[in-house]
């Protein structure tokens, strides 16, 4: 059985023509049912002929990831543990915010791989190792699950406003499926997310960055977390294989739209990367890049090798960057009471005896 959630519109069109002899417009109708009306049963597709619906049901299915558990924080942050077809577990997080009129809107943090090969030392997912890449259907299935949970059925006024690929995995190491997912998200007859509502977060993968830049399908966030190569090698050993100066040089010529800026993520780890000297190095590093900086406050958790920064150090760090004309946003972790950093829920499931409580790069802590 072919899971239609895993086909782009051109693929669905080609498949329906070849397998069912259906015209192009029929695929567009089915596509709209799957992505906008969130149908999971061909029977409800009322503008599709009965014969076609029967044949679809014989040869295809519409399968979303299954919710294993849902945890909701006091601040509204909601975390899903999801089961994929082959039994793999991934996480996805919904983060609330209120718009100018006080209406609640949501950002979803999406996973792109089962586990992660990058091994960042502050990240629970990184400690699990890599299992496999996720498919386009699995990435976008997270969006369908969230929209269903939010009862978000009005494409003209969506509650789910932004999607960030900052969950489990390094998205640029799953480039093929990521591009299929972004293309499908951009489709006006599908989920209809414009590139400015999509962000891909990476710790810096040379080849992937150039492909993403050429496509312009999403905004870019880069997880720095260290202002110099030596420290980066210590806390993000695999990411640091691409030297920091080369990463920054590449970012200086990264293609950006008129109002677009690169977001740098910097997690403040107590007495590791949070001194004024580090702030000076950081200002020097990113000062010439068209970007803004998210400073993320780390909260120490059981079993973590890292500690939180003192409030005075955080404020001094932030102030120094402002004094060097760097746009800084200081962010506190959300969903702390539910361990909302990526990998934590899955880690808890995998090993009740040895719980991870480490923080991920920028994942779920915006």
Select the residue interacting with ligand SF4 from 48, 118, 226, 308 (CB under 6 A).
Answer: 118
Query: Does residue 308 touch ligand SF4 according to CB under 6 A?
Result: no
Least distance in angstroms from the C-beta of 244 to ligand SF4: 15
Phi-psi region of 328 (alpha: psi -120 to 50; beta: other; left: phi over 0): beta
Check the annotation: does 3 bind a ligand.
Answer: no
**Angle, helices 175-186/136-150, rounded to nearest 10 degrees:** 40
Query: Does residue 247 touch ligand SF4 according to CB under 6 A?
Result: no
Residue 214 near residue 255, CB atoms below 8 Å:
yes
91 flagged as catalytic: yes
Query: How many residues bind ligand SF4, per CB under 6 A?
Result: 14
The Cα–Cα gap between 293 and 251 comes to 14
The Cα–Cα gap between 44 and 52 comes to 12
Helix (H, G, I), strand (E, B) or coil at 198: strand
Query: Does residue 235 touch ligand SF4 according to CB under 6 A?
Result: no
Taking the C-alpha atoms of 270, 274, 276 and 282 in order, what is their torsion angle to the nearest 10 degrees? 170
Select the residue interacting with ligand SF4 from 168, 209, 224, 244 (CB under 6 A).
Answer: 168
Query: Does residue 273 touch ligand SF4 according to CB under 6 A?
Result: no
342 flagged as catalytic: yes
Site for ligand SF4 in 341-360 (CB under 6 A): 342, 360
Query: Does residue 120 touch ligand SF4 according to CB under 6 A?
Result: yes
Which residue of the chain is nearest ligand SF4 when measured via CB? 126
Query: Does residue 361 touch ligand SF4 according to CB under 6 A?
Result: yes
- Quick one: tokens of 268? 């403040």
Instruction: Find the distance separating the first CA and the last CA of the chain, reported in whole Å.
Output: 39
The Cα–Cα gap between 109 and 106 comes to 10
* Nearer of residues 126 and 190 to ligand SF4, judged by Cβ: 126
Residue 38 near residue 144, CB atoms below 8 Å:
yes
Check the annotation: does 273 bind a ligand.
Answer: no
Kindly list the catalytic residues.
91, 342
- Which residues are annotated binding-site positions? 116, 120, 123, 169-170, 201, 223-225, 299
Residues found near ligand SF4 in the complex (CB under 6 A)? 116, 118-120, 123, 125-126, 168-170, 203, 342, 360-361
């Amino acid at each position: 059985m072919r899971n239609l959630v895993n086909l782009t519109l051109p693929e669905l069109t080609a498949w329906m023509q070849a397998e069912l002899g259906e015209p192009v417009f029929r695929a567009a109708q089915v596509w709209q049912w799957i992505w906008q009306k969130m149908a999971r049963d061909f029977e409800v597709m009322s503008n599709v002929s009965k014969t076609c619906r029967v044949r679809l049901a014989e040869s295809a299915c519409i399968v979303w990831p299954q919710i294993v558990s849902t945890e909701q924080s006091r601040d509204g942050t909601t975390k899903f543990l999801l089961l994929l077809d082959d039994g793999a577990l991934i996480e996805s997080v919904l983060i609330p915010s209120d718009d100018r009129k006080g209406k609640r809107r949501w950002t979803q943090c999406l996973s792109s791989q089962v586990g992660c090969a990058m091994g960042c030392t502050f990240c629970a997912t990184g400690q699990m190792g890599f299992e496999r890449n996720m498919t386009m259907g699995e990435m976008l299935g997270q969006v369908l699950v969230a929209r269903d949970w939010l009862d978000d059925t009005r494409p003209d006024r969506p509650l789910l406003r932004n999607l960030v690929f900052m969950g489990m995995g390094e998205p640029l190491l799953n480039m093929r499926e990521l591009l299929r997912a972004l293309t499908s998200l951009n489709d006006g007859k599908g989920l209809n997310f414009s590139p400015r509502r999509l962000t891909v977060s990476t710790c810096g993968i040379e080849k992937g960055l150039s492909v993403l830049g050429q496509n312009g399908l999403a905004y870019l966030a880069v997880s720095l977390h260290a202002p110099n190569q030596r420290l980066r090698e210590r806390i993000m050993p695999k990411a640091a294989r691409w030297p920091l100066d080369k990463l920054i040089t590449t970012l200086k010529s990264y293609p950006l739209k008129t109002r677009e800026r690169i977001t740098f993520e910097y997690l403040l780890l107590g007495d590791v990367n949070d001194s004024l000297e580090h702030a000076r190095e950081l200002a020097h590093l990113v000062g010439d890049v068209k970007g803004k900086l998210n400073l993320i406050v780390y909260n120490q958790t059981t079993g973590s090798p890292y500690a939180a920064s003192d409030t005075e150090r955080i404020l001094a760090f932030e102030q120094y960057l402002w004094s060097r004309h760097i746009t800084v946003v200081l962010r506190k972790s959300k969903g702390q009471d539910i361990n909302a950093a990526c990998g934590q829920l899955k880690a808890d499931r995998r090993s009740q005896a040895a719980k991870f409580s480490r923080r991920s790069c920028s994942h779920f802590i915006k």
